[in-house]
Amino acid sequence: MMDVKGNSNSNSSSSTTQSDEEMVGDLRRGPWTVEEDFKLINYIATHGEGRWNSLARCAGLKRTGKSCRLRWLNYLRPDVRRGNITLEEQLMILELHSRWGNRWSKIAQHLPGRTDNEIKNYWRTRVQKHAKQLKCDVNSKQFKDTMRYLWMPRLIERIQAAATTSSTAASASPAATVSAVSTNHHLINNNDVGTGNLVIPHGVIDDDFRVSHVTPSYTPENSSTAASSDSFAAQISPVSDLTTDYYHMPVNHNPNPDYFQAGQVGFSESMISPAGYFNQGLDFQAMEHNNNQWVVESGDASDNLWNPEDIWFLQQQMNIM
């Protein structure tokens, strides 16, 4: 069994040194051995999961029920999806986290095969890292706005680019794909994840994953209004056909008042102007000094959230203040 980092069963290395693993009373703790994994898998294959405490006893595992449950759900379960978080999944996580906060299990329910632990780790290691680089709190409004107006459109563009290059045979634009899926009323299903289809729009989705809110389009009228978050949003991502499509979707049809709180009112009422935004939140001098770091430290390609275009834009915002 290989983990994400390519280790041969991340914990099995300890299986040869079982004698020095930690024992608390009659219970074992720490990394699972291959034998333990087999015991758990075999037992669940025969008897099913659930009733974890008795399962642990009956399976002959010197583990707590909680430990067995965790091992099964996060690692051994056959439908656990391993490997890098895809762009679509990143977008999904950002979107859902903006709605629900640290409700990892709830978010995980909409990412088939991904565990809450994995999503939580992703958030802590990737997203929080970028917040740290921006010198702002991950829960701050500035960072949330940055995610919504810069990071997510960027992800959409990259998904679009990937889809365009990989699906020329289908001759369907990503926007068309999204549109088709959206009208299907269920944007997310197992088949969509990881297929390259864009399954999440730049908007807020309701519990049935309908498109329930989109950012209004950028117009000359609102462009002159410094306090317009919409104009900011549109400027951020000026080259995105996909986002343009979303922005032109007319109105919010979601009857759920909570939705408006989170996705619309919150931004339009409290969004500060781009100038104020940058004044208050982001240390762009620090960013400028670390331009190379932004790219280099971001790791693999799927983690490069900021490119020179973005940074150029952000610096322009600084200049017009």
Partner DNA sequence: AAATGGGGCAACCGCTGCATT
Partner DNA sequence: TAATGCAGCGGTTGCCCCATT
Among 47, 58, 60, 74, indicate the residue that binds DNA (CB under 7 A): 74
* DSSP character string of 99-166: HHSS-HHHHHTTSTT--HHHHHHHIIIIIHHHHHHTTS-TTSHHHHHHIIIIIHHHHHHHHHHHHHHH
Nearest approach, Cβ of 66 to DNA (angstroms)? 6
Cα distance between residue 66 and residue 54, in whole Å: 11
Beta bridge partners of 214: 203
Asked whether position 135 contacts DNA by CB under 7 A, the answer is: no
Asked whether position 118 contacts DNA by CB under 7 A, the answer is: yes
Among 4, 239, 265, 321, indicate the residue that binds DNA (CB under 7 A): 4
Among 11, 142, 215, 317, indicate the residue that binds DNA (CB under 7 A): 11
| Chain position carrying tokens 């983690």 | 303
The amino acid sitting at 249 is M
The token pair that represents 79 in the structure block:
């439908």
Cα distance between residue 79 and residue 114, in whole Å: 9
Among 283, 303, 304, 315, indicate the residue that binds DNA (CB under 7 A): 303
Instruction: Using the rule CB under 7 A, give the single segment among 113-121, 195-203, 230-238, 239-247 that binds DNA.
Output: 113-121
Asked whether position 81 contacts DNA by CB under 7 A, the answer is: no
Asked whether position 244 contacts DNA by CB under 7 A, the answer is: no
Instruction: Kindly list the distances between the CA atom of residue 148 and the CA atoms of 145, 169, 216, 263, 264, in Å, as whole numbers in the listed order.
Output: 5, 32, 14, 10, 12
Site for DNA in 83-112 (CB under 7 A): 102-106
Contact at 8 Å (CB) between 31 and 11? Answer: yes
Instruction: Using the rule CB under 7 A, give the single segment among 24-32, 185-193, 240-248, 259-267 that binds DNA.
Output: 24-32
Residue ranges that bind DNA, judged by CB under 7 A: 3-7, 10-11, 13-14, 24, 28-32, 50-54, 63, 65-67, 69-71, 74-75, 82, 102-106, 116-118, 120-122, 124-126, 129, 296-297, 299, 303
